Amino acid sequence: MKLYYTPLKGLIHKVQVVAIEKGVYDDLEPRPCIPYEQWDKLAAANPLSKVPTLVLDDGTPIYGGHVIYEYLDSLKPEPRLFPTEGAARWVELTRLTLGDQLFDLSSQRQFEIDRPEDHIRNEYRDRIEAAIKRGLDRVNADCAGYEGLTVGQISIACALKYHDWQHEKGILPWDWREKRPAMQAWFDRFTDRPSFVPRDDEIETRPILPTKDRS
């Protein structure tokens, strides 16, 4: 299976964690790409030219993170990352969306602050930051009840890894751990597993979009 994705040095991708936990990581052929520049690499499989995109051995394309994760989960019975029915399924799909949105909002914030100074919409940036912090507070309030290994928890943990990556790069000025001890304790326990070890450190990468000099 060919996996089109954008590697960022030191960043953990949800698809990596899911594939490793399901025991199918070695079945993936990584196809690193930058969608903004390499449209031809993706367009044949995904008309939107977005990552991640998975192409099966028979040429069938699967795109959209949620769909790829559930497909990989279907390949082997254990561990079951997506509950198949009942209230547990809706809880995990909601947590999966929460983690995805924490990631997406942080990306939106980065795009906003990378505008020229006189074009940054401060009110919009502040709304994004407020939404991110509300999401983090919800995780901090709920994480004591998280159990097992599920796709929702993977999504949230990877979003927090992304926040750490942005904080280290000077993109996100505040640390999500501040005043959220329960979430920090859960995160440290949950990510202490081989699937959360970066696999892209040997790949030479560059920013997806030009960014301001924050040195």
Which pLDDT tens digit goes with each residue over 2-13? Answer: 999 888 877 889
Residue 5, token pair as written in the block: 């994705």
Q: Would strands 2-5 and 53-55 be described as parallel, antiparallel, or unpaired?
A: antiparallel
Reported as a pLDDT band with limits 50, 70 and 90, residue 208 is very low
The verdict on domain 2-74 having CATH code 3.30.1490.20 is no
The CATH number fitting domain 86-194, selected from 3.30.479.30, 1.20.1050.10, 1.10.3720.10, 2.40.110.10: 1.20.1050.10
Query: Closest Cα partner for 160 from 173, 177, 146?
Result: 177
Total Cβ atoms within 10 A of residue 97: 14
Q: Would strands 61-63 and 29-32 be described as parallel, antiparallel, or unpaired?
A: unpaired
User: Can you say whether the dihedral through the CA atoms of 174, 182, 106, 112 is positive or negative?
Assistant: negative
Residue 159 or residue 44, greater confidence: 159
Q: What is the pTM of this model?
A: 0.90
